[in-house]
Amino acid sequence: MRVVADLQVHSPYSRATSKNMDLKALARFASMKGLNVVGTGDFTHPDWRKEIRRDVQDSSDSGLYRLRDGDFQVQYMITGEVNTTFQFGEKSRRIHHCLLAPSIEAADAVSDRLAKYGNLLSDGRPTLRATAPELVDEVLEADRQCVVFPAHAWTPWFSIFGANSGFDSFIDCYQDRSDRIFALETGMSSD
């Protein structure tokens, strides 16, 4: 199967996101744009995770899901994004990370582990008081099949290479966990 995906989306529980951004709307617009896989976004938010659990069903043990009620062929991957805020060297770092989970149950386990670092109800993309290596450890301890990678890597704020709060190297950010990072999201603002 050829995969055309957008795994970096948000729910109505994220700031600056339409309140109409539900799973059915994601499927409708993903279909219009030629996508066959779309992220759920924001799996760390407890209320959104309830909606995900209610509205989708497993699509043959592939780690992908389909709407329970709908004619769309789009499949969903359980995804989220978090903002880590921490000190490194003389600088405060604020880095956004994408999270991919193989199942809703894995998303539950990840969320349970991350709750100690911040208020997951505050935003679909919560701010966590954790370093990037701590985030990787917590996510992979919850489920080894999860994936963590930096989001919108070159935007000035909230990114791994951002001019205002980022790093000069990938290894400085993830340290000895760098070998566990398999992707990098460049973002729409990359040129």
CB 130 within 8 A of CB 172: no
Kindly give the confidence (pLDDT) of every residue in the chain, 191 residues in length, as a single tens digit, with 9 standing for 90 and above.
799 999 999 999 998 888 889 999 999 999 999 999 999 999 999 999 999 999 999 987 788 999 998 788 899 999 999 999 999 989 999 999 999 999 999 999 999 999 999 999 999 999 999 999 999 999 999 999 999 999 999 988 899 999 998 999 999 999 999 999 999 998 776 55
CB 59 within 8 A of CB 68: no
Count the neighbouring beta carbons within 10 Å of the beta carbon of residue 5: 15
Of the candidates 114, 93, 94, the residue with the CA atom closest to the CA atom of residue 42 = 114
pTM, to two decimals: 0.94
CB 174 within 8 A of CB 146: no
